[in-house]
Structure 1
Amino acid sequence: MNLQHRIDLLVQLGKYIRNNEEGWIDAKEKATRENAWFISEFIDSSAKAVADIYLDENSLRDIARKYQIPETTQAPKTIGIVMAGNIPMVGFHDWLCVFLTGHNSLIKFSSKDNVLLKHLLSKLYEWEITMQNMTGSAELLKNCNAYIATGSDNTARYFEYYFNKYPSLIRRNRTSVAVLEGNESDAELSALADDIHLYFGLGCRNVTKLYVPEGYDFIPLLGSMKKYNYFFDHNKYKNNYDYQLAIQLLNNQQYMTNGSIMLIEHPSLFSPISQLNFEYYRDKNALVSELHDNNSVQCIVGRDWISFGNAQRPGWEDYADGVNTMKFLQGLQ
């Protein structure tokens, strides 16, 4: 399958998602039944980003030109992909990079997200039968030439052990932060609420910690996040909130809440579901320098960095962990 054919199929897939055809509707409903964290609103949000950003024809052609992808890939490699499942379709971009470059992929789907991508691949198989020669799935990824694996810090150690004889791109735990100045507008705070709450805060690009100036007034921020109070209708989320609240009460710890999310002063970048950590800063430049050097930080949200509301809309080349997947694939011999 040549480059032009692959791009045509990807563009067709984007149209299929945007048209919200019956088969896609059924797949989304099934995904929600199998994983309660995948509510329809968040599936649609992720799917829209995939269709509009990754499967845009002009973007695909620009990427193909930038990386000088040949019309026909000589001696394609087989890439094993271990996909995450924390948010809907989170592994799509890894597969897309492999497919666009003309390599073959063997996918181990996450048990948390094994409906949506399988359905999209089935549509590609339907439109082009030879797709089955380029993309398959397996529980054990054997006889691959290289690997891309995403998991926790703990599973990353296992990946490094099992894949150490092969070229590999292994991703670990990451999260995102926001640096506030204290004079953000209502619109900026509302957008920040999206960066915090989208996908229930389960993505590596979700803001899980705030850095605020001393004397910061939290009341406007807490008010801006009330639009997500409907999370309390979600049993899994409410159970997490009740559990975290109980911990704070038992430990006699101070907290702030708007009724659906708690703000806790805590040094950790990572916060559990329904909790948002914060820390005061004095020297913003020193803080940002420290954050840029921290390998656990996926992105920084703020006026001088990723704009409020765009943390969960990564561009085509906003690669996870900051490692260029296309260059990795191009470097395979």
Structure 2
Amino acid sequence: MTLETKKNAFIELGKFLSQFNEGNCIKKETVFGNDLFFEKFTDLIQLSQSHNGWFTPEQVFFSIQSWAKALTEENLDQWLSKYDFSDVKPKKVALILAGNIPLVGFHDFLSVLITGHAVLIKTSSNDQHLLPFMANYLIAFEPQFANKIEFVEGKLENFDTVIATGSNNTARYFEYYFKDKPSIIRKNRNSVAVLDGSETKEQLTALGEDIFRYFGLGCRSISKLFVPKDYSFVPFFEGIFKYQDVIHYEKYANNYDYNKAVFLMSNFKLLDNGFLTIKEDSSYGSPISSVFYEYYDNLDDLQKRLENENEQIQCITSNNLVKNSIGFGETQQPKLWDYADNIDTITFLLIR
């Protein structure tokens, strides 16, 4: 299968996904496979929350639209143009996927197939349906994918390379179990925002998207704020007020009530707006419905700290206050070339 053949299949998948917007799914006659797949995918989206209570239709639609925007000819060409695919030795790559947000493992799936390898997939029990559906769509469009894609429920066997995602605890198991295989082992990471008080209300509202999208369950969800010592949180709370309806979702509300009670029983000082608590804490990983904050003295020292602790950080958002940060509201829509943990997956797959 040529690179162009593979790209065309994913471009067609992107066109298919582009039809599915929250409250406005429009079937386009020019899209391949709609007779077979459109209604089934609509039903699957609505059923996703029954498979995983955090996968509300709103969150699933957002993930689908993010991938629809990514899987264009222009984006794929820009992403792949710097690589040499002329001497790929096909292998079987095992993927152990997380299930914290919808389609969280799709980039690895795409990377393995686009580089010409076969993929052996063990999905998370929390996200077992969306990726297999997309795999079936790809096979329908390009049957040559049929012998390149395999899903397994039990033990992974007969593979050459592995990409595994999990917690810090499971990562230690993965590192031992796959010690004889070329591997990428992904651990817990969190994302942070650096503020200085000059942010506009619009920017802080956009930061709310980075915090509340996927209920804060993603590694690109902002879980920690760095603020100057004289920082007032009033504008921050005003900026994120748009997201107040999150508290009406039962699973989120239960976490809010529980975590707030734990903090208060421990006599921690909290700031609280009725749907989010913020707590001064040096850790990066805050629980659902809470964001930690920490004061900084100067940006140069903070920059050095973030660089030294980069293995704990997935991404940084700010108003150009620190190096390698992205704009507010952008953390949850990475580009194809924005690699998890800053590990270039394509290069890893091409040199093995």
Q: TM-score under structure 2 normalisation?
A: 0.91
1:47 matched to 2:64? The reply is: yes
Offset of 1:230 from its aligned partner? Answer: 1.3
Partner-residue secondary structure (3-state), 1:66: coil
Offset of 1:61 from its aligned partner? Answer: 2.4
Per-residue CA deviation, residues 44-68 of structure 1 (Å, 9 max, x unaligned), is 1111111212x11122223333112
Offset of 1:130 from its aligned partner? Answer: 2.7
Aligned length: 329
Which letter does structure 2 place at the counterpart of 1:308?
F
Where does 1:15-164 land on structure 2 (aligned, <5 Å)? 15-20=15-20, 21-53=38-70, 55-70=71-86, 75-139=89-153, 140-164=155-179
Q: Is the 8 Å Cα contact of residues 201 and 238 (structure 2) preserved in structure 1? A: no
Which letter does structure 1 place at the counterpart of 2:106?
F
Per-residue CA deviation, residues 248-306 of structure 1 (Å, 9 max, x unaligned), is 22122211111000011111111000011001111111112111221101111101121
1:331 matched to 2:351? The reply is: yes
Unaligned runs of 5+ in 2: 21-37
Q: Is the 8 Å Cα contact of residues 223 and 258 (structure 1) preserved in structure 2? A: no
**CA separation in 2, counterparts of 1:64 and 1:122?**
24
Q: Tell me: CA distance 1:77–1:34, structure 2 relative to 1, closer, same or farther (3 Å).
A: same
Which letter does structure 2 place at the counterpart of 1:63?
W
Partner-residue secondary structure (3-state), 2:163: strand
Where does 1:248-259 land on structure 2 (aligned, <5 Å)? 248-259=263-274
Alignment match, 2:242: 227
Partner-residue secondary structure (3-state), 2:100: coil
Alignment match, 2:287: 272
**CA separation in 1, counterparts of 2:65 and 2:351?**
31
**CA separation in 2, counterparts of 1:211 and 1:59?**
33
Q: Tell me: CA distance 1:209–1:64, structure 2 relative to 1, closer, same or farther (3 Å).
A: closer
Identity %: 41
**CA separation in 2, counterparts of 1:199 and 1:225?**
15
Q: Is the 8 Å Cα contact of residues 88 and 115 (structure 2) preserved in structure 1? A: no
Which letter does structure 2 place at the counterpart of 1:62?
Q
Q: Is the 8 Å Cα contact of residues 88 and 350 (structure 2) preserved in structure 1? A: no
1:173 matched to 2:197? The reply is: no
Which letter does structure 1 place at the counterpart of 2:46?
E
Which letter does structure 2 place at the counterpart of 1:42?
Q
Alignment match, 2:2: 2
Q: Is the 8 Å Cα contact of residues 63 and 103 (structure 2) preserved in structure 1? A: yes
1:217 matched to 2:255? The reply is: no
Which letter does structure 2 place at the counterpart of 1:206?
S
Alignment match, 2:11: 11
Alignment match, 2:33: none
Q: Is the 8 Å Cα contact of residues 17 and 24 (structure 1) preserved in structure 2? A: no
**CA separation in 2, counterparts of 1:187 and 1:317?**
27
Alignment match, 2:26: none
**CA separation in 2, counterparts of 1:74 and 1:49?**
29
Partner-residue secondary structure (3-state), 2:81: helix
Where does 1:230-309 land on structure 2 (aligned, <5 Å)? 230-294=245-309, 295-304=311-320, 305-309=325-329
Alignment match, 1:196: 211
**CA separation in 2, counterparts of 1:114 and 1:178?**
32
Partner-residue secondary structure (3-state), 1:277: strand
Offset of 1:33 from its aligned partner? Answer: 1.5
Offset of 1:74 from its aligned partner? Answer: 5.3
Offset of 1:227 from its aligned partner? Answer: 1.7
Which letter does structure 2 place at the counterpart of 1:38?
F
Unaligned runs of 5+ in 1: none
Q: Is the 8 Å Cα contact of residues 30 and 115 (structure 1) preserved in structure 2? A: no
1:311 matched to 2:327? The reply is: no
Q: Superposition RMSD on alpha carbons, in Å?
A: 1.2
Which letter does structure 1 place at the counterpart of 2:4?
Q
